[in-house]
Amino acid sequence: MAEQKDKIFAAYSEKVMDHFTNPRNCGEIPDANGIGNVGNAICGDVLRLYIKVEDGKIVDAKFKTFGCAAAIATSSMVTEMIKGKTVEEALEISNRAVTEALGGLPPIKLHCSVLAEQALRAALADYYKKIGKDPSAFEPKKESHEHYDGF
């Protein structure tokens, strides 16, 4: 059994394992001004991403994820990547950038990075709605996976 577990974890980079075992920015932001809720109906992963924006800059980001090691790691990484960025800079962060920042993901787990990007876009869209701006630039990209908003 331990040998099988070692093989499974060997598919992940050290950075993925670090963000899985020591996730950064877990939790909620009670006064978040942007919240993105996304999930993958196929694998069951669910991510809620909270952002706090002040003067056009993301000053805090937290997440709650129900999912596998890769889902937790990508959630953790995306929060690290967006802190201190402007809303426009955060929009440029792609699932590919999240995957690269983690040192790669097994092909079967790439959908987890898509989930992170979609949660970010959903949180940015929510922020824009709340400040009275058109959120269409932030709408999640349609991928070949089925995703749904909400929990």
In DSSP terms, which residues pair with 26 in a beta bridge? Answer: 63
Residues in the chain, total: 151
Task: Judge whether 26 counts as a catalytic residue.
Answer: no
Q: How far apart are the C-alpha atoms of 78 and 57, rounded to whole Å?
A: 15
Catalytic-labelled residue, pool 11, 17, 35, 43: 43
Instruction: Put the strands of the sheet holding 147-149 in their side by side order.
Output: 57-66, 46-54, 34-40, 147-149
Statement: residue 111 has pLDDT above 60? yes
Q: What is the pLDDT of residue 5?
A: 45
Measuring CA to CA, how many Å separate 46 from each of 20, 33, 38, 95? 15, 20, 6, 16
Q: What is the pTM of this model?
A: 0.86
Catalytic-labelled residue, pool 112, 115, 119, 124: 112
Task: Please give the single-letter amino acid code of residue 141.
Answer: K
Closest listed residue to residue 102, CA positions, set 41, 24, 38? 24
Q: What is the pLDDT of residue 23?
A: 97
Task: Judge whether 112 counts as a catalytic residue.
Answer: yes
Statement: residue 137 has pLDDT above 90? no
